[in-house]
Amino acid sequence: MISRRHWILLPAAAFLLRAEDKQSVRGRLRQDGAQPPAILTREGRVVELEADAPSTAVLRDARLKDEDFEAVGRFRAPSRFVVDPIHERALFVWRNGKRLVVTYWCDVCSIRAWSPGRCQCCQEEMRVDLRDPALGEMQLK
């Protein structure tokens, strides 16, 4: 029989199991508009990426095409990867051995976004702003 004390531990166990479920894929982005976004791995494999709309916008951002790119999520099949939702900050670029989260910044309004597009305030195009993921949410702003 499970006591009430053990029921309290269930959410923590579920969180730990979900954390272990995380995987990643790393390489160069394939951004052919006729095909789904994909990563070309160092081993020469093509891994197609499934993602929510804001994450797909990042995956199709031409400014990231030549970057060493990493997506976090889980494999659905060896050549199919499901990217975590945009709110989980699952898209990264590697530069000089450092993992940086992909964000977008408006220099005019000082607004940060997580997918490309125009600033919600001034309507200027936001620039790519790669940030250290160790920074807290408030430090990213």
Query: How does pLDDT run across 33-81, given as a tens digit for each residue?
Result: 889 999 999 999 999 999 999 999 999 999 999 899 999 999 999 999 9
Q: Put residue 123 in one of left, alpha, beta given phi > 0 → left and psi -120 to 50 → alpha.
A: left
DSSP 8-state assignment for residue 124: P
Given a cut of 80, whether residue 140 has pLDDT beyond it is: no
Mean pLDDT of 76-91: 96
Is the pLDDT at 5 greater than 80, yes or no? Answer: no
- Gap between the Cα atoms of 4 and 79, Å rounded: 43
pLDDT of residue 130: 97
Q: Which domain holds residue 82?
A: 24-140
Q: How many distinct structural domains can be found in the chain?
A: 1
Long-range contacts, stretch 88-92, CB < 8 angstroms, 24+ apart: 89/114, 89/133, 90/55, 91/55, 91/58, 91/59, 92/133
pLDDT at site 16: 45
Asked whether residue 4 is domain-assigned, the answer is no
Closest-CA residue to 25 (of 80, 107, 100): 80
Residue 100 lies in a domain: yes
Residue 126 lies in a domain: yes
Bigger pLDDT: 128 or 13?
A: 128
d(CA 63, CA 29): 11
User: Is the pLDDT assigned to residue 1 strictly greater than 60?
Assistant: no
Average pLDDT, the chain: 88
> Do the domain assignments include residue 32?
yes
